[in-house]
Structures are given as C-alpha cells and as structure tokens.
Amino acid sequence: MKIVAIELYEMPVKLKEPFVISLGSFEYAENVVVVIRTDEGLSGFGECSPFMPIHGESMETCMVVGRYLATALMGQDPLQIELCTEWLDKVIYGNSCIKSAFDIALYDIAAQKAKLPLYAFLGGKAGKEMATDYTVSLDEPSKMAEDALKIVRAGFPVIKIKLGGSYERDMERVGKIRTAVGPDIPLRIDANQGWDTATAIRLLRDLHPFGIEHCEEPIPKWNFLELPAVRQQSLIPLMADESCNDHHDAARLIHLGACDQLNIKLGKSGGLFKALKIIELAEEAEMELQVGGFLESRLGFTASAHLALKSPNIIYFDFDTPLMFTEDPVSGGIQYGRNGNIALPDGIGLGAWIDADYLRKLKSVRIG
C-alpha cells in the first residue's frame, strides 16, 4: 500500500463561550484536519488542535509544516507507522501537534486494513466505562461557582476547575464552587503552570479539605526539577500535563518521582505511537493515567477514546471540549450520553470523519 495524496484543512470552530485558562483565552477551536489517501482506496482521518502557548504551534503554522510532512510521506507505506514516525521526526524537530494529526490518520488506515476497530488494533479491550469531566473556565469566583452548578445540573460526574491565579483568589474560587455544588461531587483542579513553587505548595495543602482528586501541572513546565519537592509537600496528588509530552518526558518524570499521575494528550505526544510508549512506562511504574486533549472536535477525541481502552491504568477521561462547540462537523465518532458517558463507534478504524461537503467549505492544501 502506498500514500498517493494528503489533504490539510483549516477547521476553525467558534466556541459557545470563551475557554479561559491561566495561559490565555480562546474563542475558537482553530483546528487542522489531515486526510491521507492510499492507492488501495483507504483514507485515514486525523485532527489536531494547536495551542500556541503550549505547543508553540498555530493553525497557520500547522498548515505550513504539514506541507513538509506530507511531502515526506508521499509514496510511503502507511502501514509502516514506526518508519513513518521516524520520517516525520527527521523532517522537523518538535511540532508534535500537527504530527499527531498525521499519526491518527495513519492508524486509522492501519486499523481499517486490519478490519479492526482502532482500540482493538492498539491492543485495547471494549467494555470499560468512560465518563468525561466538564471544565469550569478561569473567571471571577462567583461566575465559576454558577458555571459549576450548571455542570452538576447537567449530570456530569466530575468538575474540573481551571486555576492559576493568586493564592487568595484561587482559594476563593474553589471555596465558592464547593459551596455551590455541595460536598459530594468530585473536584479536580488544573493550574496550567500558573503558580510559583511556594504558592503551589501552600495551595496544595490548603485546598485539600475541599476534596480535590488531583491537580494538573501546578508550576511552569520548565521548572520540573522542583516538582518532586512540590509533590512531597502536597496533600493532593499531582498530575503532570504540560511537562509530560512524549515518552522521554514521562521516563524523566517517573525517574525523578515528580508526580503521581500522567496526562496523555495526543497533541503533546505527537500521536498514538508515542502515547503507547507512555502507557507502557506508566504500567511499569504502576501509575494512574488520564487521557485528555485540547480543543479537538469529536474526531480527535474519538482517537483519544480508542486509546483510553488500551490500559486499565487509564482511569480519568477529559473529553469535554467538543461539547463547547457551536457546531459539530464530525460524522460517526464518539457519542455523549447521560451523565457524561462516552460511547465509541462499532465500526473498523477510527470510525470518525468529516463529510466531503463540509471539507469543501474549508481552506485546504493538497499534496499529490
């Protein structure tokens, strides 16, 4: 089998409300869809959602770099995923976000060729119950409490709270949310690197009485050498996010004893190939995992859901952002049920795609 054409599409989708974290505010999901066509008639779909302050990539840079990557893959066998990954990494350093869209499309083709659902092709098993949390964006404490109450009333089982401000304001945010939603619903917090070490340690002690399941990325990712000290003094389990991109980062963090859990996002790891290596390391270390994402549509999160069936160590699911879109351009793919439950498609491959009529409306580039 050979790759005969690759298409790249800019797919910006407006959000219902701005998505706000300590690193910035986002009004659009500025995503890129990659479609890989083969000489046997199989086509694979992939998607990425670049966050400039995290990836160092944008929708525009993904389109530019994507041309280089597509040119390198032309004529290659899409079933040779390890070799294709090596080709992509030789073309350009980093750029994990756009590489992840190519990776997902390659795996879609490979699973279709094997006549297996993607999760089965990855070695996963059906039957795991998955329910997504829902995120409260960073805002004034009273507004965040109102938003959290709406999430509870909508039936979601867990609330994720974006933090990353001052000690006083973040204490107020969590306190008002807990008062609004009552004592029973689990809360998770995510500072997105927003605290210095001293503030992180103080908050991770003082927020403990509010029943916090874990905290993602409390301090700047470049300061990962201080994560072990933060972890030792924290009363809340730490989950590495921005400091854990690929398997090399995961190995380093595990070696340092820097965190209790790891958050896998395909846009950070460069796709499924390297994400599987993170899972292997976590299983060896008996570490719990979360699978999450950025602002991908149901297309990208369908790939994440397939991955989430790979290991029993994956027990946390952060798949909520497609529910924030003003439109849903995806056919097939995961479906959201009651109480945030996630259902995967039954067919072979990824099982999610963008209809040709919708793609024709988008700005695109074709190689081949």
Is pLDDT of 91 > 90? Answer: yes
Residue 104, classed as helix, strand or coil, is: helix
pLDDT tens for 107-139 read: 999 999 999 999 999 999 999 999 999 999 999
**Span 49-65, mean pLDDT?**
96
Annotated domain spans of the chain: 3-117+353-367, 121-351
| Identical fold, 3-117+353-367 and 121-351 | no
Active site residue 162: yes
Active site residue 265: yes
The catalytic position among 265, 268, 274, 310 is 265
With bands split at pLDDT 50, 70 and 90, how would you rate the model's confidence at 344?
very high
The catalytic position among 216, 242, 318, 320 is 216
The catalytic position among 241, 249, 296, 318 is 241
H-helix or E-strand containing 21? Answer: strand 3-21
Active site residue 190: yes
Is pLDDT of 22 > 90? Answer: no
The residue type found at 37 is R
Distant-in-sequence, close-in-space partners of 122: CB < 8 Å, separation ≥ 6: 107, 272, 276, 306, 307, 309, 310
Is pLDDT of 242 > 90? Answer: yes
pLDDT tens for 246-266 read: 999 999 999 999 999 999 999
The catalytic position among 99, 160, 162, 268 is 162
pLDDT at 301: 98
pLDDT tens for 177-226 read: 999 999 999 999 999 999 999 999 999 999 999 999 999 999 999 999 99
- Asked if 246 and 270 count as a contact pair (C-beta separation under 8 A), the reply is yes
Cβ-count burial 167-197 (b if 16+ within 10 Å, e if not): eeebbbbbebbbebbeeebebbbbbbbbbeb
Task: Tell me the pTM.
Answer: 0.97
Angle of helix 298-308 relative to helix 272-284, nearest 10 degrees, comes to 30
CA 92, CA 364: separation in Å to the nearest integer? 21
**Span 98-106, mean pLDDT?**
98
φ, ψ (nearest 5 deg) of residue 83: -65, -40
CA 30, CA 24: separation in Å to the nearest integer? 14
Distant-in-sequence, close-in-space partners of 1: CB < 8 Å, separation ≥ 6: 38, 39, 40, 42, 77, 78, 79, 109, 113
Distant-in-sequence, close-in-space partners of 39: CB < 8 Å, separation ≥ 6: 1, 2, 4
Residue 161: Cβ-neighbour burial (10 angstroms; 0-12, 13-18, 19+) = buried
Name the class of domain 3-117+353-367: alpha beta
**Span 75-89, mean pLDDT?**
97
pLDDT tens for 59-78 read: 999 999 999 999 999 999 99
- Asked if 33 and 299 count as a contact pair (C-beta separation under 8 A), the reply is yes
Q: CA distances (Å), 237 to each of 46, 61, 209, in order?
A: 33, 36, 13
The catalytic position among 47, 108, 147, 190 is 190
Which residue, among 271, 273, 304, has the nearest Cα to 290 in the 3D structure?
304
pLDDT tens for 133-162 read: 999 999 999 999 999 999 999 999 999 999
Q: Which one-letter DSSP state was computed for residue 245? A: -
Strand partners, 262: 240, 289
pLDDT over 90, % of the chain: 98
With bands split at pLDDT 50, 70 and 90, how would you rate the model's confidence at 23?
confident
Tally helices (H) and strands (E) across the chain.
14, 16
May I ask the CATH architecture of the domain 121-351?
Alpha-Beta Barrel (3.20)
Q: What is the mean pLDDT of the chain?
A: 97
What are the tokens at 48?
Answer: 């990425």
